[in-house]
Amino acid sequence: MFVINAGDTVEAYAEHYSEVAQRRPKRCPPCGAVDCMTGHGSYPRKKPLLATPAPPRPLRVRRWKCTACKRTTSMLPDILHRYRQYVWAVIGAVLLRRLVLGQTWVQIQRELSALPADAPPAPSLDSMRRWCKALAGHAQDWLQRTLVVLASVQPGLSELNAHGRPVLTLAQQLLQAAAPFAQWLAQASARRAPDPTVADLRAVWRWGWNDGLGRLI
């Protein structure tokens, strides 16, 4: 599987799926062969959960097959998570509220529960705890790799200097590095606010997964 950016919402992805389905991969992720990918249909990703009143519905995920190694691979939009039912818009909001803003579980649950009556259910406390625990478990490898990149492209970045900064967990350091890292990925030159966003987390996850880092949450 490889991850692509194909819109910031489920609706945008669904609307432009026909265009997404034409994005032929240059290289086979499993074997590395070049110019060998052929279309192999699609499969439904069942009912991703969002924090919106729109009813959940299956999404199509494009699949490709390598003529060299004969293996298939999927092209997952980065709005979805590889292993979780909730979309990144919800998962990322929980991580940022808990680890960056320092909100309590009760505060997060209350704010995510302030939804229309016909919206999908807000994540449970157990789910939110699992997401944060999973991030903590994978943060060291991801942080090490992102800091190596940032040190080479932005050596003067404040995120690389721990002197005088409050003590942060590895997961918190990774989230703080997400904003400048996503800016570098976007090749943006304009300065922006230092606080990470859900879009930044998606960008870091997309890069890391495609670079072989594997699971993040």
Domain that holds residue 202: 88-210
In this predicted structure, the answer to whether residue 58 has a pLDDT above a threshold of 90 is: no
Q: Is residue 163 part of a domain?
A: yes
Q: Are residues 38 and 97 in the same domain?
A: no
Q: Is residue 121 part of a domain?
A: yes
The pLDDT of residue 189 is 66
CA 198 to chain centre: 8
Q: Is residue 215 part of a domain?
A: no
What predicted TM-score, i.e. pTM, was given to this entire model?
0.86
The pLDDT of residue 131 is 96
Q: Is residue 25 part of a domain?
A: yes
Q: Are residues 121 and 72 in the same domain?
A: no
44, burial (CB in 10 Å: exposed 0-12, middle 13-18, buried 19+):
exposed
- Distance CA(76)–CA(5), nearest Å, equals 9
The pLDDT of residue 168 is 87
pLDDT band at 49 (very low <50, low <70, confident <90, very high): low
- Distance CA(102)–CA(50), nearest Å, equals 23
Q: Are residues 193 and 110 in the same domain?
A: yes
- Distance CA(198)–CA(178), nearest Å, equals 9
Write down which residue in 77, 100, 135 finishes a domain. 77
Convert the pLDDT of each residue in 82-133 to its tens digit.
Answer: 888 888 988 999 999 999 999 999 899 888 876 555 555 678 899 999 999 9
Which candidate, 177, 137, 143, places its Cα nearest to that of 157? 177
Q: Are residues 32 and 131 in the same domain?
A: no
Q: Are residues 68 and 92 in the same domain?
A: no
Write down which residue in 29, 48, 77 finishes a domain. 77
Q: Is residue 93 part of a domain?
A: yes
Q: Are residues 149 and 118 in the same domain?
A: yes
Convert the pLDDT of each residue in 175-216 to its tens digit.
Answer: 999 999 999 898 876 666 678 999 999 999 999 999 999 999
pLDDT band at 22 (very low <50, low <70, confident <90, very high): very high
Which candidate, 184, 181, 183, 178, places its Cα nearest to that of 201? 178
**Residue 28 near residue 68, CB atoms below 8 Å:** yes
pLDDT over 90 for what percent of the chain? 57
Q: Is residue 217 part of a domain?
A: no
Q: Are residues 66 and 98 in the same domain?
A: no
Assigned token pair, 144: 């090490």
